[in-house]
Structure 1
Amino acid sequence: MSFTLFPGTRLALALESLAGLSVGDALGSAGGPSPSSDISDLPLGPWEWTDDTEEACCLVAVLADREFDRDAFAELLGRHHDPGRGYGRGALIVLGEIRDGLPWPIASAAAFDGQGSAGNGAAMRAAPLGAWHADSLVHAAAQGARAAEVTHAHADGIAGGVAVSVAAAAAAAGRLDGDRPDLIRIVAAHSPDGRVRDGLLAAARLAGAAPRGERHAPGVRRAAVAQAARELGNGVRAMAADTVPFAIWVADRFLDDYPAAIGACIDAGGDVDTTCAIAGGIVAAYTGLDGIPPAWLSAREPLPGWLAAATAAGEGP
């Protein structure tokens, strides 16, 4: 990586990734086309985003050049989380405890009878943080772990946040360098040992199954997506290990085609809003806003007004 990122550039990259994350989340939540339908056959807007986007907005609001501010992030999560946005029961307990004043390290560690959460919640919000750290995959991994630990004390939950942060950093770096990264292998190399990394290694074995020139053909896409969902999971268990490898496989395969990436996640079923959010945030880090169809951005429910004020960035995507 041979570039220098200034704060304004970092924020722009993070906001573009957030746009991809939120549009994917909202379309997945809105009940996008069935697997047999064309991705252009879309539900009527506005598409309401879910907890994936709400948590990602809290994350973006505290991004800064210094170490990720976990206390400020926890405070925003506690203050802004809306139970009507589709939060799981475990997340609502942790965030409610944080809102009521319990320190986040205690709330996070106590979840699930002291095991900590192994869910996909840290991964679903992580892509903008990775885009912010496009100049250092090492920093992206370290800060991804810090951000994940606020709500996920289990090693798998943390690994999911690390993997998505690194994937988005590598995608944004590839865009700035003008190179298409070997996304899955890069992420696996920066991920801790465990079930998430095992899934990434399985995804790497699948990644070369079809020639690149055929990857966007509808029949090839559906068959490859079905196989990947069978072997990697599609998030139906809402765990990092059965969500993150598949979403990163999708992002790698369709890194230059945002609609195809979102269509692949919809085809796979499962935790569709979350796989769309993860893959969408990574792919948008590579394509920028130009990769997201303008009509999709317009159909997505506006992001919360407090985000623009918190980032002092005027009108975000």
Structure 2
Amino acid sequence: MAPLSPAYASLHGLRIGDAFGARITLPGDHPDVVGRVLPPGPWAWTDDTEMACSVLSVLDRHGHLDQDDLADHFQRHFDPDRGYGPGAERVLLRYRRGESWRDIARSVFGGGSWGNGAAMRVAPLGAWFAPELDRVVTEAAKSAEVTHAHPEGIAGAVAVAVAAALACTSPLDGGELLRAVATRVALGEVRRRIEVAAEFRGTAEEAARELGNGREVSAMDSVPLSLWLAAHHFGDFEDALWTAARVAEDVDTVCAMTGGIIAARTGYDGIPVRWRDSGEPLPRWLVPSAVYEA
């Protein structure tokens, strides 16, 4: 069988990161986290994976990010038991009632959401359009606008997508990768923290204190750390996620972004078998037509 395409490998990395992170409810200094005792499966994934599947379904159907279809996918597949935040629930229920996403996404939070919801689901899109980086930026921004219209929310999505695109099309890692990502992100706090991450030389704990650890559930507070973790762990998916579990607070989303970026480079086989088997399978409604590389 041919290998999975980078986009679907990235989706699996996101799925496993999300599901693993959702099982990590212990503090980062707990002996099971420090000792890396893998939680028993199966690990159920959350809204991160559910929304990422909608993104890839729309790309598979249209070959580009159709925003109206994405909004429709989000409301049709919205499952409140998947851990959506209260703001996302309110927005998606309004979409389900037939209200226009164009009006709602720009009005919430007085100018659009700058949460990390657009970034958490977008790594596979970056792999899908790689190596067309201009296209990656455009399509990632479009995917964000459906729910996260604030410039920082969009910037977070662009950053993760570009990182995934570079992961599967270039050998860049560490600070070089982060500097390349930053050049494609609009000026603002997300970009500033990525630039800080590119020059950072401390421990993961220090990186979390410097860049943010996801506590605020914002793009600014979680995307730079996720990119830093991915850029310094391309050779070890497992170490990346255990490190995230130790230092992050929004563990499932930081792990989803980190895992999606790393798997874009390593492919499906770069995810340890036990981890792949412990995670909940992708939903049955995801029926892609271009899963495998030719």
Shorter-chain TM range is over 0.9
1: distance between equivalents of 2:160 and 2:234?
A: 14
- 3-state SS of paired residue (1:243): helix
Deviation at 1:103, TM superposition (A): 1.4
Does the aligned pair in 1 maintain the 2:34–2:246 contact within 8 Å?
A: no
Corresponding residue for 2:23?
30
Partner amino acid, structure 2, of 1:51: D
Q: CA deviation at 1:257?
A: 1.3
Change (3 A) 1:67 1:302: closer
Structure 1 moving runs of 4+ over 2 Å? 32-40, 64-67, 179-182, 312-315
Residue 303 of structure 1: how far off its partner (Å): 1.0
Structure 2 residue matching 1:56: 3-state secondary structure: helix
Residue 83, structure 1, aligned to residue 80, structure 2: yes
Deviations 1:52-77 (A, max 9, x none): 01100111111147431111111000
Judge conservation of contact 1:81–1:95 (CA < 8 Å) in 2: yes
Residue 18 of structure 1 aligns with which residue? 11
1: CA distance, partners of 2:72 / 2:147: 12
In structure 2, what is the equivalent of residue 165 of structure 1?
A: 161
State how 1:194-233 maps to structure 2 within 5 Å: 194-206=188-200, 209=201, 224-233=203-212
2:45 alignment counterpart: 49
Q: Map residues 49-68 of structure 1 onto 2, 5 A cutoff.
A: 49-64=45-60, 66-68=63-65
Deviations 1:91-124 (A, max 9, x none): 1111111111111111211212x32101000000
* Structure 1 residue 71 corresponds to structure 2 residue 63: no
- How far has the Cα of 1:38 moved from its partner? 5.0
Q: Which has the higher contact order (CA 8 A, sep 6+)?
A: 2
Equivalent in the alignment of 2:223 = 244
Match of 1:187 in 2: 181
Percent identical = 46
Residue in structure 2 matched with residue 98 of structure 1 by the alignment: 95
8 Å contact from structure 2 (residues 21, 245) kept in 1: yes
Tell me the residue number matched to 1:142: 138
Q: Could you state the TM-score of these two structures normalised by the residue count of structure 2?
A: 0.92
What is the Cα-based RMSD across aligned positions, in Å?
2.0
Structure 2 distance, partners of 1:192, 1:88, is 26
Equivalent pair of 1:256/1:286 in contact (CA under 8 Å): no
- Show the counterpart of 2:148: 152
Aligned residues of 1:39 and 1:259 also touching (Cα < 8 A): no
Residue in structure 2 matching 1:110, options 107, 119, 123? 107
| Amino acid in structure 1 at the alignment position of 2:224 | P
Distance 2:185 2:112 in 1: 19
Counterpart for residue 298 of structure 1: 277
Specify the SS of the correspondent of 1:106: helix
Provide the C-alpha distance between the structure 2 equivalents of 1:32 and 1:13, rounded to a whole number of angstroms: 30
In structure 2, relative to structure 1, the CA distance for the partners of 1:288 and 1:263 (3 Å cut) is same
2:187 counterpart SS class: coil
1:277 equivalenced with 2:277 (yes/no): no
Point out the more displaced range, 190-199 or 91-100: 91-100
Q: Which secondary structure does the structure 2 equivalent of 1:101 belong to?
A: coil
- C-alpha change, 1:70 and 1:135, in structure 2 (3 Å) is same
Q: State whether residues 5 and 291 of structure 2, in contact with CA within 8 Å, keep that contact through their aligned partners in structure 1.
A: no
| 1:62 alignment partner AA | V
> Any gaps of 5 or more consecutive residues in structure 1?
1-7, 210-222
